[in-house]
Amino acid sequence: MIVDTHCHIYEEYYENIDEFIKEIEEENIILIVNGINPKTNKEVINLTKRYPNVYGALGFHPSEVDNIKDEDLLELEKQLKIDKIVGLGEIGLDYYWRDDNRERQIDIFRKQLKIAEKNKYPVIIHNRESTEDMLFILKEYKLKGIMHAYTKSIELAKEFIKLGYKIGIGGVLTFKNTNLKEVVKDLDIEKIVLETDSPYLTPEPNRGKQNEPKNIKYVAKELSKIKNIPYEKLKKIILNNTLEIFDLDL
């Protein structure tokens, strides 16, 4: 069994979701589908109700913060109590795509972290070109979670690990020219979880096509090779790591 800790299975990306998720279930893959705004959060909730292998994380992505109102945050906190919702995600900061609304991003991010801390929920963190602010803010909260789509240095990874976070590794690990392989070599295997970020960041050998959770096996096999751990043993380790963060009824 493998848990894809971060994917975006929305109707706008995938056709015939019933058949799509059935195929994923047949490969013994558990999904944690992440929302990014009120609309997709509702989609995530519906998926968790329809499919036994789907869990959800709800949140407001930094690209969405200009449209988020106080009532959306109140609704988010209520939605966390729904069965099979296991975390807040995808939340964070992104100064790469836009940095003229930093204060707004930080405000919505902090409000979501407070909700997570109050309700004792893990968080799934998006961090792009915002590391200084990210570290400063996360140190203020007693939380656990995942640093999503990690591609930074080993030194920074260790800083996040000290704060209670595991490192989310996805398709970039399979790319030929990536420093992530060297980072992963030095990372404690107990601090790693796997993800696809579907429909994005498709791993080799399917790079260039739309990503899907079934491709997580390529990330797992690459990690197995880098860490010199037999594939089946590695899957068990990664599953245990994931269960240290999320309350999954497996």
If DSSP states are collapsed to H, E and C, what string results for the chain?
CEEEEEECCCCCCCCCHHHHHHHHHHCCEEEEEECCCHHHHHHHHHHHHHCCCEEEEECCCHHHHHHCCHHHHHHHHHHCCCCCEEEEEEEEEECCCCCCCHHHHHHHHHHHHHHHHHHCCCEEEEEECCHHHHHHHHCCCCCCEEECCCCCCHHHHHHHHHCCEEEEECHHHHCCCCCHHHHHHHCCHHHEEECCCCCCCCCCCCECECCCHHHHHHHHHHHHHHHCCCHHHHHHHHHHHHHHHCCCCC
Single-letter amino acid code for the residue at 237: I
Asked if residue 161 is part of any domain, the answer here is yes
> Which residues in the chain show pLDDT less than 70?
none
Q: What distance in Å separates the CA atoms of residue 227 and residue 224, rounded to the nearest whole number?
A: 5
Q: Answer whether residue 37 is part of any domain.
A: yes
Q: Residue 12: its pLDDT value, please?
A: 96
- Rounded distance, CA 69 to CA 200, Å? 28
CA distance 149 to 8: 13
What is the model's pLDDT at position 118? 98
Query: What is the pLDDT, as a whole number, of residue 138?
Result: 98
CATH code of the domain covering residue 222: 3.20.20.140
219 domain-assigned: yes
pLDDT of the residue at 99: 92
| Total number of domains in the chain | 1
pLDDT number for residue 23: 96
Residue with tokens 């998926």: 47
Domain range spanning residue 68?
A: 2-245
Instruction: Look at residue 189 in the predicted model and tell me its pLDDT.
Output: 98
Is residue 250, in this structure, part of any structural domain at all? no
